[in-house]
Each structure stands twice: as C-alpha cells, then as structure tokens.
Amino acid sequence: MKTLRWTNHWLQGSPSFCQRVEPTPLDSPYFMHCNAQAAHLLGLDVGQVSNDAALRCFNGDELLPGMQPVATAYAGHQFGIFTSRLGDGRAITLGQTQRANGETYEVQLKGAGLTPYSRTLDGRYPLGAAVREYLAGEALTALGILSTRALCLLGSQTEIRRQEHSETAAILVRMAKSHMRFGHFEYFHHRDDIDELRELFVFVTEQYFPELLNEAAEQWPLRFLEIVIERTARLIAGWQSVGFVHGVMNTDNMTLSGETLDLGPCGFMEAYDPGFSPNPGDDQQRYQYDQQPDIGRWNCLALAQAFTSLLPSPTIPACLLRLYRQTYQQHYLQAMRTKLGLQTPHPGDVDLVHSLLSALARSNADYAGFFRDLARLEPHRGLFARTEFPVPLQNWLGSYQDRLRLEKSSPDQRRERMNRVNPCYVLRRHLLDQAIQSAEQGDFTELGKLLELVQNPYEERPGMDFYSQAQPEASFPTVQSL
C-alpha cells in the first residue's frame, strides 16, 4: 500500500464540492476478507492490503501519505421526489491512485463514521449490508457489467442500532473509476447556483472525460450528456439481460461513469418475474425489474434537466430523448442474442426474445438455470429433447430451433458460446443469506467460497450443485432487509 501515490481530485475544485472529514475508527477492527482481484487492479497482492498497516489505514487510525479524506455534496430524486441535500452520509473518499499503465481508481471507505452529510444517521454500515455489497459488486463485474469493486471488508466490535435491534458495524473499502453521481449536478442546478454548476462541469470533464478535451468547449455539455446517457443505457441493458435488480435507482445512486453504485437492497431474479423487486420498502414498485429501463431514461432526463443552463437552449434536445432508447434496445437485444447462442442478427430476433420472456413468466422458470439448460439441449431426430421443460417453453423451443437453422455453427460450438456468457453460479438470495448469517457469527468461510464462485460464474465445479440451484425447500431463513 505504501508504494501507491495518492491524490484527491475533489480538493482541486470549489470548496462547495466537498468537505474534509476524518474517518471514525471502529472498535477492535479486523479483516473479514480481502479481494485478490481488486487488489491486482492496484498492482498489489492480498498480503499488501491485509497487513496491520493496511488495517490501520482502512480503519482510519493512520492514513497513508497523500490521502486526504473528503465527503462530497450532492442532491437527488429519491423514488421520484427531489431531495435538495443528501451528500456522502457514510462514504468517505480517501483519494485517487494511478497505476503505471495509467488506470486511475478512486478509493472510498463506506461505513467509516459521521460526515457533514450524515443527517440523522450514524455513518456506519451494518455487517450484513456490507457483505451483500461486497459480493454483489463482484458478481456483476464477473458477468461483464461495470460496478464498483470491493477491495476488502473490515469487521469490528462496534455496536450500532438498526430498527430496534443491535448489529455490528463494518467498513467496506470500495473502488471505482469514479463515484461521481447524477446528483452532484442536480445539487447546484436546483440551488440555481449556475457558476458552481459550470465550475463542477469543467472540473468533472477535465478529470474524468478526457475524450472531450480535443473538441470545441461549446460542444462539451451536449457530448457529455450523450456519453453518460449511452453508458447508462448499456449498464441497464446489462442488468436486464442477467436478471439483476438494483432496488434503489435514485438519481443519487447513478454514476456518470456507467458503473453500478450503492448496492443496497439489490438482487438477482431467480424465477422469471417481471415484477420482481428485492426492495420491500419500494411500496409503489417503482424500481422493480420491468421498470428499470424506463427509470434509467427518467434519470437521464433528470440529469439533462440539470444541464439546461449549460446548453445553448433550455429545451432538452430531441436527440437525447431518442438516444437512450436506441442504445438500450441495441445492447439489450445483442446481449440476449449472445445468451441464446446466436451470432448473426435477424429481423425476427426481437419477437423471439419477447416470446421467450413470456414463456418464462408463464412457466415460473429459473432465469439463470434456463439458459444453462438450453445450452445442453441436443437435436434428436430433427427436434430438441425438451420434455423436461414446461409446456410454454416447449412450444417456444420450436421457434428457437427454426432460428438456429439460420446459424452456421455446430451444436457444440453453440454450447461453448452459451456457457461462456450464461452463469452457472449467481448470487442467489439463500446463498447470500447463508454467507451473511455465517459472517455475523464470525465464520467467513461461506463468504470466501461464495465470492470465489461468483467471480468465476461460468465454470461448473464438482460438488457445488447446491450453489447452482434455486433455493431448496429447507434452507436458511431469510434475513431482515438491511
């Protein structure tokens, strides 16, 4: 860790962008787990991020030279309702560090105590919620979907109160290309502070959008929005294709970088259900599975609204209104083609996918399991051996077989392609609950095992059938939402 050079871009901008804050150490901290893959991104091995000096650093006892911790100011639309002042209530940015290859990562502590934006909260992160974010970000990354990464997870003896019960606090050390949110721009726009908004835009462009610096400055705002909208559409197309539901798609939880952020009550859909939501607090089902594409567009429009004072006209350009849908549809359809083992586009693919989703819904079929089973099917006398599928899916398989005749690859090639993109292991609810409950009892074996599986989700492992199947009838009880 001491070999890394640290800066903090936030301190190069206006004082209104952030405030200096010192982490509040946990009592008797210890490493629950360290993530070798994330450490490698920083050019480190596990031993270099799991020693006593690293523990003192991440707990806030003794920061490394160059680290200048800050909490940033932002606003956001929460469940569609605008809140003018949110900010990093339990996230503290230590700074940015750059690899020799030029890759820069911003590192945050989540759960390191009070900040000026904590409001009535305590700035702490319950252990169970921290475990969920630790695993969910890695599961998404392994599926090819951009997300914040978990560098390590600290446990402690610090007690916190949540909903009339006591829990232990944890610190999640997470990293991303950038934690910049839509809400950072909304904060200044809705305060009608145009000078600060303009300064924030120039600051963010220079730090995180170098591709714009060679273009005329008057084109920057529109091009900036186009890039962010395309990134957001691609991100949500990825979520939909793997059956992932974020659960809290507020504008303050959306990144400019197109990375998945703030994995709270999130989850992977198991039985295909368009109305699936892992968030029991979403009473209006605003953020359920089938709403995510439209909410993504809604959030992009909220960001565009925050940019109207920077654009030549206060009216949001029509091209932006079309761009999100076009990008989303293109990337979602291509992702589904790939999941079905199809290489060449065909005009009937949209109907093929829609009819599949309808059949999955009527069959209550396991979403991830279906695609793995589909890859195993063998042609038999001109037909698929498909009797193990429910009737709606048996009927759909006829259309699928007709579509495969337009492909030139062999069944073995199709199977190999499909197994490279359709996971055998996903972060199922009962597996996550099991890992959380074990961790709360001081046993991190399941946490490590589950992390290894979701980081390598396509390779079937002997003796791991329990981890690839839907929840058994007798399983661990569901833990309370955190």
Q: Measured at the alpha carbon of residue 311, what is the angle toward residues 307 and 313, in degrees to the nearest 5?
A: 120
Strand ranges for 307-381 from DSSP E? 379-380
Neighbours of 22 (CB within 10 A): 13
The first and second tokens of residue 336, run together, are 């589904």
What one-character DSSP code corresponds to residue 366? Answer: B
Query: What's the Cα-to-Cα distance from 255 to each of 72, 121, 131, 197, 341, rounded to whole Å?
Result: 14, 23, 21, 17, 31
Query: Would you call 252 a catalytic residue per the annotation?
Result: yes
Residue 136 CB contacts under 8 Å (≥ 6 apart), including other chains: 147, 263, 266, 427
Positive/negative CA dihedral, 130, 135, 136, 141: positive
Positive/negative CA dihedral, 448, 450, 455, 460: positive
Exactly one of 45, 52, 193, 252 is catalytic; name it.
252
Containing 251, the helix (H) or strand (E) segment is: none
The first and second tokens of residue 173, run together, are 């050390």
Containing 394, the helix (H) or strand (E) segment is: helix 391-404
Strand ranges for 163-318 from DSSP E? 165-176, 244-245, 267-268
What one-character DSSP code corresponds to residue 254? Answer: B
Q: Which residues are catalytic?
A: 252
